[in-house]
Amino acid sequence: MKKKIMPPTYFILFLVFSILLHFIFPIKKIIFVPYTYLGWILIIFGIILNIWVDNIFKKIKTTVKPYEAPSKLIIKGPFKISRHPMYLGMGSILLGVAIIHGTLITFIFPILFLILVEIIFIPLEEKNMEKKFGKKYLEYKNRVRRWI
């Protein structure tokens, strides 16, 4: 079986590229101190959100991997306000890093990450959820927004 690239791999790559390109091509600074400090709030939010969600997945013993069929439908905790809180957390961290650096080039990466998960992972996950949980998932999907 071909090994598939998981979302955290893309997240780490985008994070590294964002930081490297900020220093290699610091094109047009658009956010300045003290506003750059707001990035830390987004980073802390994203880290806490991802740890919280990961712990929920482990506690109820279902897969976090988008290519695998889930065994349980999670609708509690952060899943009450977002159907994809892990992606929200990763996107938040990337946006926080972009704000801290404040250069135009760094804002490409949170956008690319969100586009990537919207095109590759979310449709796959939602299809698997719909297939596995049917009407219960569709009701949840109608109640809770994709991001926030």
Cα–Cα distance between 63 and 69 in angstroms, integer? 7
Range 1-13 average pLDDT: 90
Is 72 part of any domain? yes
Q: What is the pTM of this model?
A: 0.95
At 22, is the pLDDT very low, low, confident or very high (cuts 50, 70, 90)?
very high
| Axis-axis angle for helices 108-116, 7-24 (nearest 10) | 160
- Domain count across the chain: 1
Q: Is the pLDDT of residue 49 over 60?
A: yes
Is 125 part of any domain? yes
Is 71 part of any domain? yes
Range 72-86 average pLDDT: 97
- Return the number of other C-beta atoms located less than 10 Å from residue 87's C-beta: 26
Q: Which of helix, strand or coil describes residue 29?
A: strand
User: What confidence score (pLDDT) does residue 27 get?
Assistant: 85
pLDDT 10s digits, 95-132: 999 999 999 999 999 999 999 999 999 999 999 999 99
Amino acid code (one letter) for 96:
G
Range 36-65 average pLDDT: 97
Is 126 part of any domain? yes
Amino acid code (one letter) for 37:
Y
User: What confidence score (pLDDT) does residue 116 get?
Assistant: 97
Range of the domain at 46: 42-143
Does residue 110 have a cis bond before it (omega within 30 degrees)?
A: no
Please, which residues have CB within 8 angstroms of residue 58's CB and are 6 or more apart in sequence?
Answer: none
Cα–Cα distance between 148 and 140 in angstroms, integer? 14
